[in-house]
Structure 1
Amino acid sequence: MPSFDTVSEVDMHEVTNAVDQAKREMGNRWDFKKVDSNIEFKAKEEVVVLSAEEEFQLDQLYDILLMAFVKRKLDGRALAEGEDSKAGKQVKRTYKLRQGIDQPTAKKIVKMVKDAKLKVQVAIQGDKVRMTGKKRDDLQEVMAFLRESDIETPLQFNNFRD
C-alpha cells in the first residue's frame, strides 16, 4: 500500500547559507553602518542569535534573516522565537530551529485528517506522522489538505512509497 511520512526538518547547510547571506545584506545596508550588530548561527545548539544595540534593529535583522530564508527556500516558521537578553549596550534575541513534529501538533494533524474523512490511515511514529492509503490519489489529496491547513509547523513530505 502506498504511504508517505509527514516531517518537519530544516536543512542545516541551507540555514548556514541563509545566515551568511543575511550577514552580507546587513553589511551592505546603510542603516547598519557603524552599528554593533551581528547574526550568528550555532549549529550544535540549532540556534540563530541576533544581536544589536536597539530593539527595532533586532526587528530589522529578523526581517533580513527571513528574506534570506525565503531566498534559500527555507520556511520562516522553522524559527521559534526565544527570549531576549540585554548585556551592556547589546540586546540579543535567540531563535531556536524547529526540528520534528511535536506530540500535540502530531495529534492535531491526525485529528484534522480523520475529521476530513479522507481515506487514509494515520499513525504517529516519533517525530513524524505516517499516512497510508489504498490509492496514490488519496495520499496526494492528504498532502494538498495539509499544505492548506493552518498548522504553524513547516511540513515536508518524504519517503513516498508506492
Structure 2
Amino acid sequence: MISYAFALIVYICVVELPDQIFINLIYFYTKAIIIMPTFDIVSKVDAQTLDNAMNNAKKEILNRYDFSTSKSTIDHDKKTNVITIVTEDDMRLKAIEDAIISRMMKQNLDSKSLDFGKEVYASGNMIRKEISIKEGIDKETAKKIVAKIKASGLKVQASMMDDQVRVQSKSIDDLQGVIALCRSEDFGQPLQFINMRN
C-alpha cells in the first residue's frame, strides 16, 4: 500500500509539478514514514536448552553414590513449564536443586528464571517441591522497568506491551543506554533485548 502510494506521488510530481515542489513532497513523505529505532525487553527461556539442562541434571543425580538407593524423581512438565522434585529428605532436595541450577548455568540459562515453591510432604514420607519457570514480564515488573527507564533521564519512550516492554528513541546511543541500565539492575528475572530496529 505504501509503495503504491509512493509511486503515485512520484508520477504526479514528475508529470505535474515543478522540481522544487516535487523535492519537498518526496522529503516530507519519506520523513513521515520513518520509524524510530526500537527494541523489545523480554524474559524468555529456550525450551530445548532447558530440556537439555533437566536431562543432564537427572543423569547427574542418578549417577551419584548418595542417590543409589533413592527414589528421587525430577519431572519437567513442558506444557505448564513446571519442574517437580520428589525425594526423601531436605539434604537430597538441596542436592537436586543445586544440580538443576548448575546444569542450567552450563547451558547459559539464568537461574533467576526459577521460582521455587514450598516443600510439601507427599505419601511415603517423601518431600515434594515445584519449581515454576518464569516466562514473560508480569505487569508489576514491567512497571518497575518502565519507571526505572523514565527516572534515568534518557531520551526514550518505554511502554508495556503484553508480557514485554517496548523502548523507542531517536538515538541509538540512548537505546544502548537503556540496555546497559537494565543489565545493571536486578528485576528478579533474566531479561533479553530483541527485535532491535534502526
In structure 2, the partner of 1:139 is 175
In structure 2, the partner of 1:103 is 139
| Equivalence map 1:66-105=2 (5 Å) | 66-87=101-122, 88-105=124-141
Structure 1 residue 84, shift from structure 2 partner:
2.1
Query: How many residues in Structure 1 have an aligned counterpart in Structure 2?
Result: 162
Deviates more, 1:33-42 or 1:62-71: 33-42
| Equivalence map 1:38-77=2 (5 Å) | 38-77=73-112
Show structure 2 runs of 5+ residues with no match: 1-35
Show structure 1 runs of 5+ residues with no match: none
In structure 2, the partner of 1:35 is 70
Percent identity between matched residues is 39
Structure 1 residue 27, shift from structure 2 partner:
1.7
* Higher percent of residues as helix: 2
Mapped to 2, the partners of 1:148 and 1:29 lie a distance apart of: 38
Runs of 4+ off more than 2 Å? none
Larger Rg: 2
TM-score (norm 2): 0.79
Structure 1 residue 81, shift from structure 2 partner:
1.2
| Equivalence map 1:112-123=2 (5 Å) | 112-123=148-159
* Higher percent of residues as strand: 1
Mapped to 2, the partners of 1:73 and 1:51 lie a distance apart of: 25
